[in-house]
Amino acid sequence: MQPRVAMADELPYSCGPPPPPSSSLAAQGQQQQPHRFCDERLTAEQRAADLVANLTLAEKVSQLGDRAAGVARLGVPAYEWWSEGLHGLSIWGRGIRFNGTVRAVTSFPQVILTAAAFDAGLWRRVGEAVGAEARALYNLGQANGLTIWSPNVNIFRDPRWGRGQETPGEDPVTASRYAVAFVTGLQGIGGEASACCKHATAYDLDYWNNVVRYNYDSKVTLQDLEDTYNPPFKSCVAEGKATCIMCGYNSINGVPACASSDLLTKKVRQEWGMNGYVASDCDAVATIRDAHHYTLSPEDTVAVSIKAGMDVNCGNYTQVHAMAAVQKGNLTEKDIDRALVNLFAVRMRLGHFDGDPRSNAVYGHLGAADVCSPAHKSLALEAAQDGIVLLKNDAGALPLQPSAVTSLAVIGPNADNLGALHGNYFGPPCETTTPLQGIKGYLGDRARFLAGCDSPACAVAATNEAAALASSSDHVVLFMGLSQKQEQEGLDKTSLLLPGEQQGLITAVANAARRPVILVLLTGGPVDVTFAKDNPKIGAILWAGYPGQAGGLAIAKVLFGDHNPSGRLPVTWYPEEFTKVPMTDMRMRADPATGYPGRSYRFYQGNTVYNFGYGLSYSKFSRRMFSSFSTSNAGNLSLLAGVTARRAGDDGGGMSSYLVKEIGVERCSRLVFPAVVEVQNHGPMDGKHSVLMYLRWPTTSGGRPARQLIGFRSQHVKVGEKAMVSFEVSPCEHFSWVGEDGERVIDGGAHFLMVGDEELETSFGLWGLSLRNRF
Count how many Cα atoms sit within 13 Å of the Cα of residue 104 in the half-sphere of its side chain.
13
Among residues 66, 224, 227, 281, the one annotated as catalytic is 281
DSSP H or E stretch at residue 690:
strand 687-696
Spatial contact of 194 and 713, defined as CB atoms under 8 Å apart: no
Count how many Cα atoms sit within 13 Å of the Cα of residue 39 in the half-sphere of its side chain.
13
The residue among 491, 423, 506 whose CA lies nearest residue 458 is: 506
The residue among 516, 482, 512, 487 whose CA lies nearest residue 499 is: 482
Tell me the C-alpha distance between 251 and 220, whole Å. 10
Tell me the C-alpha distance between 761 and 764, whole Å. 10
Spatial contact of 383 and 417, defined as CB atoms under 8 Å apart: no
Spatial contact of 694 and 709, defined as CB atoms under 8 Å apart: yes
Compute φ and ψ for 637, nearest 5 degrees.
-55, 140
Tell me the C-alpha distance between 143 and 145, whole Å. 5
DSSP H or E stretch at residue 128:
helix 120-139
**281 classed as catalytic:** yes
Spatial contact of 691 and 674, defined as CB atoms under 8 Å apart: no
Extract long-range pairs of 584-588: CB within 8 Å, 24+ residues apart.
584/205, 584/208, 584/209, 584/211, 584/216, 586/157, 586/202, 586/218, 586/219, 586/220, 586/224, 587/221, 587/224, 588/157, 588/224, 588/227, 588/228
**Dihedral angle of Cα 452, 455, 457, 461, to the nearest 10 degrees:** -30
Cα distances (Å, whole numbers) of residue 47 to 51, 334, 348, 521, 605: 6, 17, 8, 52, 55
Q: What does the longest C-alpha to C-alpha distance in the chain come to?
A: 84
Tell me the C-alpha distance between 301 and 281, whole Å. 15
The residue among 589, 575, 451, 437 whose CA lies nearest residue 509 is: 451
3-state DSSP: the chain helix, strand, coil percent, rounded to 5?
Answer: 35, 20, 45
607: left (phi over 0), alpha (psi -120 to 50) or beta: beta
Count how many Cα atoms sit within 13 Å of the Cα of residue 395 in the half-sphere of its side chain.
8
Compute φ and ψ for 375, nearest 5 degrees.
-65, -40
Cα distances (Å, whole numbers) of residue 113 to 17, 90, 211, 503, 548: 47, 18, 28, 23, 9
Cα distances (Å, whole numbers) of residue 498 to 130, 487, 528: 33, 12, 7
Spatial contact of 737 and 651, defined as CB atoms under 8 Å apart: no
690: which strand partners?
Answer: 714
Spatial contact of 719 and 684, defined as CB atoms under 8 Å apart: yes
Q: How far is CA 758 from the centre of its chain?
A: 30
Q: State the sign of the Cα–Cα–Cα–Cα dihedral 114, 115, 117, 118.
A: positive
* E strand segments, 127-170: 147-148
Spatial contact of 257 and 250, defined as CB atoms under 8 Å apart: yes
Which amino acids are annotated catalytic? 281
